[in-house]
Structure 1
Amino acid sequence: MAEQVPPVSPVEVEAERRVRAWAEAQRARGRRVALVTSGGTQVPLEARAVRFLENFSSGRRGAASAERLVRAGYGVCFLYRTRSAFPWARALPLSGPALLDVLRVQDGDAGGQRVLVDCSGSALPDLVPALLAYHRAKEEGALLVLEFTGLVEYLALLRAAARALAPLGSSAMFYLAAAVSDFYIPASEMPEHKIQSTDGPLQITMKMVPKMLSPLVKEWAPEAFVISFKLETNPSILIDKAKQALEKYRHQVVVANVLDSRRTSVIVVTKDLETQLSLSDDEVAQGMEIEEKIVSYLESQHRAFMEK
């Protein structure tokens, strides 16, 4: 644990201060608060890192869920991986010709030039609503952003945010959608410089990343409503793995999904229930995202949790 989450740094102290002040403002407005973690984590293979291991996560689920949680009246602290999907920015093409095709250069009145976004036609049908929703969330103080790059930074910021949100008790939701690596190389075992290919075939021994659910549930925010996510490629073990996580960590919900169908179907597993949420063919054709159903269901579960 000491190597994964180092002694509290000035960065972590400042993050906790920011989140605590923001959380108090949310409480004053009568809002519930959700910490949404999003994106994959990057694990370096060298101390002066040239090579990394990471997973496929783009952060789409976390970003889509954050949008809907704000719409549902939550203040959202969005802890996300650098360059992964961001709430409402998903309405823009990420890169390449799709982005360049909607940008226009216009001469300004004073001889300068401006870059305009062309929203005509069907190139960016969702951009204007997304921009309006984003600026409304910012103006109302409903969105606080924390950004991480590597695994260690993520774990430190998660600890800082959890401690800052603990005073909110059961009105705080932890929506842990980030795809956190299960394996890493401890700093003490990492080569300092770039691994040389002339040394021959590479063999790597990785250690297990300490699970943060245990200290989060038991120590950092013991009264909060905690949701974890479980992704598997083998559907036959999915529910058992979700139930094992609930039994081990004693949190409230596991959102279980299979890789191939993760964008259209999930199973919400609690101590007493297994609830499948799915999109119909018509809903897919209309552009609905499964996160709309996930957030709607979990919002009602959170409300019931607070009432208890």
Structure 2
Amino acid sequence: MHNDDLSRFFSENMAVDGELSFQQWEGKVLDFAQRVSRGNCKGLALVSSGGTSVPLEMNAVRFVTNFSTGSRGAGLVEDLVVREWACILLHSESAQLPFRRVMDNMDTERFFTELMAPEKSSAVASIVGTYSKYKTRLLLVPYRTVVDYLYLLRLITVAVCHRAECLRTMPMVLLAAAAVSDYFIPRTLLSEHKISSNDGMTVHFSCVPKVLNVLSDIWHTADCDVSRLFVTFKLETHDEMLETKALKNLTLYNCDLVVANKLQEYKERVVMYWRDTPGSPTVLQRPPNGSIESLIVDCILRRIECDATGGGRS
């Protein structure tokens, strides 16, 4: 797909008022870029996280959702901001959010106990303190549907790569960790109102356009002399299929890195396929008292530091 084809896809599948409301985010992203560029940030990360929904009606009541908790993206952002990176998190409305997820994951009894306690527990006090310290380095951008997601992802990518002059000397990484729907229903075929539940339903879906190559071109053609990494994530349920598709994505979408994992062990183990050494992937295993996201960030920041010092890639 080319950029012009993607623009046509948006014009055919977005309401005019929806597109206008999303355009406000360009100004917010540029303001955020100005602010963090004047601070002591070591780089900027654009992270996408969570699932994507496909509405079955224009006035949508029913959706088909590619589900994801968003824990991967939230963990990556938490780890990046404490390492003095600024983060733009493009997240589904239902995704876990950085730092806040600690409270969201509590059961009801503990949540209200924490809420009513005169003094917070050490775990909650620590996370509140960390959030308060680093919240100015974080911009949250919500979305609901797969069309919303693709539109905002392109808008933000163009803004940080080609319109934010203040970022030209700052390393950047795009971490596309959202679970993107493969299928959708074109707007012209949607029922305007709620579909009747009196009868069975047969639905025909069209393929969602593959946009990673467009985004990769935008990311890699930015006029800068610093590291710009384009990272995608691949989830499968079978080892052989996982490796095959991860290697395919490296070439097909011109990725610098594909982070691959099986659904059954996504919190425990990932395999890192770098574009320059595809035949020698790096396996990361979660340590007993750490997170797999922290190891992923370690690998990426080491690569960026290596690029900056001219030490070659390893």
Question: TM > 0.5 between the two?
Answer: yes
Give distance in 1, aligned partners of 2:118 and 2:210: 43
Q: For this pair of structures, how many residues does the alignment match?
A: 285
> Which of 139, 147, 155 is the aligned partner of 2:150?
155
What amino acid sits opposite 1:67 in the alignment?
Answer: E
Residues 125-144 of structure 1: CA distance to partner in whole angstroms, max 9, x if unpaired?
A: 52111111111112xx3111
Residue 216 (str. 1) matches residue 220 (str. 2): no
What amino acid sits opposite 2:191 in the alignment?
Answer: P
Give distance in 2, aligned partners of 1:117 and 1:196: 51
Cα separation, partners in 2 of 1:233 and 1:117, compared to 1, 3 Å: farther
Partner of 1:274: 281
Partner of 2:140: 145
Partner of 2:191: 191
Cα separation, partners in 2 of 1:126 and 1:277, compared to 1, 3 Å: same
Residues 113-136 of structure 1: CA distance to partner in whole angstroms, max 9, x if unpaired?
A: xxx57634xxxx521111111111
Counterparts of residues 1-308 of structure 1 (less than 5 Å): 1=6, 2-4=8-10, 6=14, 9-31=19-41, 32-94=43-105, 96-104=108-116, 116=117, 119-120=120-121, 125-138=122-135, 141-167=136-162, 168-169=167-168, 171-200=171-200, 202-219=201-218, 222-223=221-222, 224-271=228-275, 272=277, 273-280=280-287, 283=288, 286=289, 288-306=290-308
Give distance in 2, aligned partners of 1:160 and 1:221: 15
What is the DSSP-based 3-state SS (H/G/I as helix, E as strand, rest coil) of the residue aligned with 1:80? strand
Does the Cα contact within 8 Å between 2:219 and 2:230 map onto a contact in 1?
no
Give distance in 1, aligned partners of 2:231 and 2:285: 19
Does the Cα contact within 8 Å between 1:43 and 1:181 map onto a contact in 2?
yes
Give distance in 1, aligned partners of 2:217 and 2:118: 48
Partner of 1:112: none
What is the DSSP-based 3-state SS (H/G/I as helix, E as strand, rest coil) of the residue aligned with 2:134? helix
Q: Percent identity?
A: 31
Between 34-43 and 166-175, the greater mean CA deviation after superposition:
166-175
TM-score by length of 1: 0.85
Cα separation, partners in 2 of 1:221 and 1:159, compared to 1, 3 Å: farther
What amino acid sits opposite 2:272 in the alignment?
Answer: V
Does the Cα contact within 8 Å between 1:40 and 1:58 map onto a contact in 2?
yes
Give distance in 2, aligned partners of 1:228 and 1:61: 12
| Structure 1 residue 304, shift from structure 2 partner | 3.1
Give distance in 2, aligned partners of 1:4 and 1:96: 41
Does the Cα contact within 8 Å between 2:47 and 2:177 map onto a contact in 1?
yes
Give distance in 2, aligned partners of 1:307 and 1:226: 19
| Structure 1 residue 177, shift from structure 2 partner | 1.1
What is the DSSP-based 3-state SS (H/G/I as helix, E as strand, rest coil) of the residue aligned with 2:9? coil
| Structure 1 residue 4, shift from structure 2 partner | 4.1
Residues 173-232 of structure 1: CA distance to partner in whole angstroms, max 9, x if unpaired?
A: 1011111111111111111222223233x2211111112211111136634311100000
What amino acid sits opposite 1:13 in the alignment?
Answer: Q
Give distance in 1, aligned partners of 2:147 and 2:184: 10
| Structure 1 residue 9, shift from structure 2 partner | 3.2
Does the Cα contact within 8 Å between 1:163 and 1:221 map onto a contact in 2?
no
| Structure 1 residue 164, shift from structure 2 partner | 1.4
Residues 141-165 of structure 1: CA distance to partner in whole angstroms, max 9, x if unpaired?
A: 3111111122222122111211111
Give distance in 2, aligned partners of 1:306 and 1:151: 35
Does the Cα contact within 8 Å between 1:38 and 1:61 map onto a contact in 2?
yes
Give distance in 2, aligned partners of 1:117 and 1:217: 50
Give distance in 1, aligned partners of 2:304 and 2:55: 37
Computed over aligned residues only, the root mean square deviation of the Cα atoms, in angstroms, reads: 2.2
TM-score by length of 2: 0.84
Uncovered stretches (5+) of structure 2, i.e. residues with no partner: 1-5, 223-227
| Structure 1 residue 25, shift from structure 2 partner | 2.6
Does the Cα contact within 8 Å between 1:3 and 1:186 map onto a contact in 2?
no
Uncovered stretches (5+) of structure 1, i.e. residues with no partner: 105-115
Give distance in 2, aligned partners of 1:162 and 1:134: 25
